[in-house]
Amino acid sequence: MTEARTLTTSLPPNSTIGIIGGGQLARMLAGSAARLGFRTIVLEPGTDCPAAQTCSRHIVAAYDDEAALEDLADASDVVTYEFENVPLSAADHLTSRVPLYPPAKALEVSQDRLLEKQFLQQAGLEVADFRNVETPPDLIEALEQFGGGVLKTRRFGYDGKGQHVFTSADVSVDEAQSVFQQLGTGPFVLERLINFDSEFSVIAARSADGKTCAYDPSTNIHETGILRRSTVPARLDNQLAERARQMAITLLDALDYVGVIGVEFFQADAGLLINEFAPRVHNSGHWTREACATSQFENHIRAVSGHALGSVQRYHDCEMINLLGDEGTQIAAYLSEPASQVTLYGKNQVRPGRKMGHVTRVF
């Protein structure tokens, strides 16, 4: 990676924050940036992306378009991103031209499940047992070792995509080859099947001067691999909740991170295990806008612009529900609830399972 440029002072109002990606996370980041007096420029190839409705300017170009990246760097005082699959070539190009937060190292690690798990282990953080898998014989050998497992693509899997569960080691070479063809060319990582009581996540933040904070954990319920509901407080005792917050902060420090991160956990028989992390604001942290003194979106903007982090104090118990597909057009019942807040993402095309918005209920 190219030597990174860094902020030397906090950005004043009317400075410009560049955002790579124009989805709903960028849309909400742009709203928080505007609230603090910052302008935003979004680089996104889609002409009608959600963030185009809230940002100050929209550069319509591919994420690796060098001319567009130069334009973004020239017009921005700092650049951030809303998704973890930003091309590393783009991150490397930008990092020599303008401060880029979170750092490109976080992208490099999070884009490859094998590197991610190895990095977490090196940082002293627990993960499920895993094996690198590149060929069908590799898979069969790993399944025999684990007695089954979850095969995942090392790159580009999200919302349950790019995965296959093996409940036993009884798999032939032909069956292994068939799964490879279904999932793509690989390489893959096989994770041991684990018994867990719940899935939960911690949203944490780290400022440019190394100060950290972590929100209360949320219990997460998934359906067909897609996050359906996040509930706070999580189904964890206070000791485990604090342990999870400290694990997230350990990861932030190991990455020399700036910004907000989402860390997903299993509460397993073997203790707390990290499933994966996302170097960005996170779906399971949307509730922070309604329930906390400072939302994840504002704290990300504060961090990447060189300012102090805001309080993560939680004032309400709450639940966040993703609105998928047609649910995004059926909001009257939620709007009639006095303690519910509806957020829609401005997406014109409705597809089954597509995240169209979310609703947060506070208690």
Summarised one tens digit per residue, pLDDT across range 5-31 is 899 899 999 999 999 999 999 999 999
Q: For the domain 129-191, what is the CATH superfamily, name and number?
A: ATP-grasp fold, A domain (3.30.1490.20)
Q: 160 falls in which pLDDT band (50, 70, 90)? A: low
Q: 184 falls in which pLDDT band (50, 70, 90)? A: confident
CATH of domain 196-362: 3.30.470.20
For residue 2, the model assigns a pLDDT of 63
Contact (CB, 8 A) for 7 and 306: yes
Q: Which of 80-94, 102-116, 159-173, 201-215 has the lowest mean pLDDT?
A: 159-173
Cα angle 224-227-233, degrees, rounded to a multiple of 5: 135
Asked whether the predicted pLDDT for residue 1 surpasses 60, the reply is no
127 CB-side CA count, 13 A = 25
Start and end residues for every CATH 3.30.1490.20 domain found in the chain:
129-191
Start and end residues for every CATH 3.30.470.20 domain found in the chain:
196-362
Q: Report how far Cα 312 is from the mean position of its chain's Cα atoms.
A: 18
Q: Is 118 helix (H, G, I), strand (E, B) or coil?
A: helix
Contact (CB, 8 A) for 107 and 279: yes
Asked whether the predicted pLDDT for residue 173 surpasses 90, the reply is no
Tokens 């005082």 label which residue? 77
For residue 45, give the nearest of 73, 23, 76 by alpha carbon: 23
Average pLDDT (57-71) is: 98
Of 2.60.120.10, 3.20.20.10, 3.40.50.20, 3.90.1720.10, which CATH number belongs to 16-100?
3.40.50.20
- Phi/psi for 202 (5° steps) reads -125, 130
Asked whether the predicted pLDDT for residue 293 surpasses 90, the reply is yes
For residue 157, the model assigns a pLDDT of 67
Q: How far apart are CA 262 and CA 241, in angstroms?
A: 15
Specify which residues 265 forms β-bridges with.
200, 274
Q: Tell the burial category of 254 from Cβ atoms under 10 Å away from its Cβ (0-12, 13-18, 19+).
A: middle
- Structure tokens belonging to residue 10: 């906090």
Q: Kindly compute the dihedral angle of the four CA atoms of residues 239, 312, 202, 241, in this order, to the nearest 10 degrees.
A: 10
Q: 155 falls in which pLDDT band (50, 70, 90)? A: confident
- Structure tokens belonging to residue 256: 């020399």
pTM above 0.75, yes or no: yes
Q: What are the distances in angstroms from CA 300 to CA 102, 138, 143, 146?
A: 9, 41, 40, 39
Q: Is 222 helix (H, G, I), strand (E, B) or coil?
A: strand
Q: 4 falls in which pLDDT band (50, 70, 90)? A: confident
